[in-house]
Structure 1
Amino acid sequence: MKISSPRRRQFLVGTAAAIVAAVALTGCGPAATNPNAAETSSVAKDITIDAPSGPGSGYDQTARALEKALKGEKLSDKIEVRNTQGAGGTVALSQFVQKTGTKDLMIGGLSLVGATITNSAPNKLSDLTPVSRLIGEYEVIVVPAESPYKTLEEFLTALKTDAGANPIAIGNQGGIDHIWGGQLVQAAGVKPTDVNFVTFSGGGEALVALLGNKVAAGISGYGEFADQVDAGKLRILAVSSEKPIDIAPDAPTIADAGYPEAVLVNWRGIFAPPGVSDTDRKALSDVFAKLVETNTWKETLKTNGWSNEYQDSDAFKAELENQQTKTQETLTTLGLA
């Protein structure tokens, strides 16, 4: 059948519209196999995530959790995790700051902020491009179950009377435990350098000292003491949070104890090299904004006992600058900066 010219044009337009509608309904084409593909920037398609510490560390665990979740949600096609150890993460930082583009990303956290200060590192974490803050772990201060100190206030009162008589077990000098301990006692009106902070190379050694009454109290991430708290051998005096945390909902918070200025979370986030364009920075940030809303990531947080501390790139950059200043001040009062 021959179609006249005006009708022919009408026929062709209608046919084209039908084809477009059919494609939209059936989901044909490359994006159909991956609902995120059309929205995900190419900046996250093939990346290396640098963990500034050894296998099994907190940074390494975070990097590998991201690798699994990004692949599982089809937000990235190819990811490699690389470990770089040394000087609390500052060796990795010194190498990463030389990189360019968006193919390389790095995990960073509050402990690395402290390490750059105590090691007088030539670079700061804020020299990188903050992409997204992701997770956090809260600190706790605990005492043995038979301790005479039933509340945080009782313990801090004892420190005011004789700061050196009640040693506190912490991790490495200048690390997150030390930073929070310094902020806590300072908030209570005790000079941090007067307090007997005792360093231990691992949580196991600190536990032995606590359970053997070699120290009066201990500070670490909740996970280090969780089993002994559950067993009734240790008592939590306070968690470093503003609100109750999911994994220890009955533990008193530092804010409720009357020291809101000592709220602190040991956060970890993702960074890109210096000089990344605003367009690429936002594209990367959008990828992680999608990730944190997925059930895969929410289950990852639950499995690891992490809290959701997500911030987008802009908010993360502002918070990082605040943390840099506050950590510098705390480590100075501890005589470590």
Structure 2
Amino acid sequence: MALVAFAPAAWAQAEWKPDRNVEFIIGATPGSQLDTIVRRAQAIWQEKGLVEAPVTPVNKAGGSQSIATAYLLNQRAGDGHYLEVFYPTLLSSYAIGNHNVDYSRATPLACLGSEYYVWAVRADSLIQSGKDLIARLSSDPGSLSMGTSNIGGIGHIQMLSVLKAGGVNVGKLKMVGFKGGSEARTALLGGHIDTNSTSGSNMLGDKQSGKIRVIAVNAPKRLGGAYADIPTWKELGVDAPVISGWTCVVGAQGLSQAQIAYWDRAFAALVKTDEWKSDAARRLRSLEYKNSSETRAFLKAEYQALQTLVKALGVVKPRKNSR
């Protein structure tokens, strides 16, 4: 009888929920896609009472998202009041050697979906199609300026992988890095670069207004809506790996099972709401939710794949000791 009476008490003690402000860290600037995702999650959680404690978005942009991760990992072990959202750029830049912040020390909590990359030129460009682009760069790799939001970031890596698969000498490309997708988009529209590849939501308005020509998408199948008429690279004969801009969330290192379970419930409830689903559809973001255990396995596999890919692309450089 004593054991039976003790069990509920032990279970109650094992329960956990945040009892003060939660910081949701964003490795990007205000107004960016990552920022928008976090602020939408915050609003839904609070409006529906899914997370009762206040949630505050905290922007820590820079360093291929490593500044945000270092902030998360610094003296916050075991504290469930800190979350960080990130793109695969954090992993690809670590695999390349651009930063030395070991993301694997954090606690995986959730993956919330993916966006796929579109390739675009200005509407007045002589490049009419993806095949035109491959032909031009195969003949003269440095003849066009290629914009990317972050040298070493996942957008850059997917561009290199597509062009390498198309027979282009990627070591001679004229790549121009920007601080974010919005800056690269502005450069394309202003004629400062010849082509850009970014997530579909970044270019949607410009495509609909006729300012750009989208020539291909890096996706397993054609995207819907305004991009339904745009072929995939595979359709164009380029057998490149499909690399998406997924969004995952981690917590501080060393979180307890009770803390992980709380955030599992919070994120599972979030992605089931109509508000989240409609926002994802509007932003062309797939609803590929993964819980904490699935996210752990996913991130491990993604990093291993990225390690192999960046080595094949020849972009790895020496890295200082991880921290």
2:118/2:214 contact within 8 Å kept: yes
What is the CA-CA distance between 1:76 and the residue it aligns to? 0.6
What is the CA-CA distance between 1:116 and the residue it aligns to? 3.4
Range with greater deviation from structure 2 (70-79 or 302-311):
302-311
In the alignment, structure 1 residue 165 sits paired with structure 2 residue 143: yes
Distance in 1 of aligned mates of 2:181 and 2:80: 36
- Match for residue 307 of structure 2? 328
SS at match of 2:94: helix
1:73/1:296 contact within 8 Å kept: no
Unpaired runs of 5+ residues, structure 1, are 1-40
- Match for residue 319 of structure 1? 298
Residues 1:140 and 1:318: Cα distance change in structure 2 (over 3 Å): same
Identify which of 80, 95, 100 aligns with 2:56: 80
In the alignment, structure 1 residue 91 sits paired with structure 2 residue 71: no
1:142/1:217 contact within 8 Å kept: yes
Identify which of 156, 159, 171 aligns with 1:181: 159
Distance in 2 of aligned mates of 1:210 and 1:59: 22
What is the CA-CA distance between 1:208 and the residue it aligns to? 5.8
Residues 218-276 of structure 1: per-residue CA shift (max 9 Å, x gap): 22222333232212232111122112334423322234334454312111121122222
Q: Tell me the TM-score normalised to structure 2 length.
A: 0.80
Identify which of 214, 219, 236 aligns with 1:236: 214
Residues 1:335 and 1:122: Cα distance change in structure 2 (over 3 Å): closer
SS at match of 2:35: helix
SS at match of 1:307: coil
SS at match of 2:196: strand
SS at match of 1:131: strand
Residues 40-95 of structure 1: per-residue CA shift (max 9 Å, x gap): x7436753312233322333222211111112222110222223334232122123
- Match for residue 51 of structure 1? 26
1:73/1:291 contact within 8 Å kept: no
Aligned residues: 297
1:137/1:266 contact within 8 Å kept: yes
Residues 1:239 and 1:131: Cα distance change in structure 2 (over 3 Å): same
SS at match of 1:123: coil
What is the CA-CA distance between 1:188 and the residue it aligns to? 1.7
Distance in 2 of aligned mates of 1:77 and 1:245: 37
Distance in 2 of aligned mates of 1:51 and 1:224: 18
SS at match of 1:172: coil
Range with greater deviation from structure 2 (92-101 or 266-275):
92-101
SS at match of 1:262: coil
- Match for residue 46 of structure 2? 71
- Match for residue 116 of structure 1? 94
Distance in 1 of aligned mates of 2:216 and 2:24: 34
Residues 1:213 and 1:322: Cα distance change in structure 2 (over 3 Å): same
1:168/1:217 contact within 8 Å kept: yes
1:44/1:75 contact within 8 Å kept: no
Identify which of 288, 307, 316 aligns with 2:286: 307
SS at match of 2:108: strand
Distance in 2 of aligned mates of 1:305 and 1:274: 32
Range with greater deviation from structure 2 (212-221 or 228-237):
212-221
Distance in 2 of aligned mates of 1:304 and 1:284: 24
Distance in 1 of aligned mates of 2:99 and 2:184: 28
Residues 1:257 and 1:129: Cα distance change in structure 2 (over 3 Å): farther
Which letter maps to 1:110?
P
RMSD of the TM alignment (CA)? 2.7
Q: Tell me the TM-score normalised to structure 1 length.
A: 0.77
1:255/1:263 contact within 8 Å kept: no
What is the CA-CA distance between 1:162 and the residue it aligns to? 1.8
SS at match of 1:55: coil
What is the CA-CA distance between 1:119 and the residue it aligns to? 5.8
Distance in 2 of aligned mates of 1:188 and 1:174: 20
Which letter maps to 1:235?
R
SS at match of 2:278: helix
Identify which of 259, 264, 275 aligns with 1:296: 275
Identify which of 266, 272, 277 aligns with 2:251: 272
- Match for residue 8 of structure 2? none
Which letter maps to 2:288?
E
1:192/1:334 contact within 8 Å kept: no
Residues 266-306 of structure 1: per-residue CA shift (max 9 Å, x gap): 11121122222345424422321222111121123234443
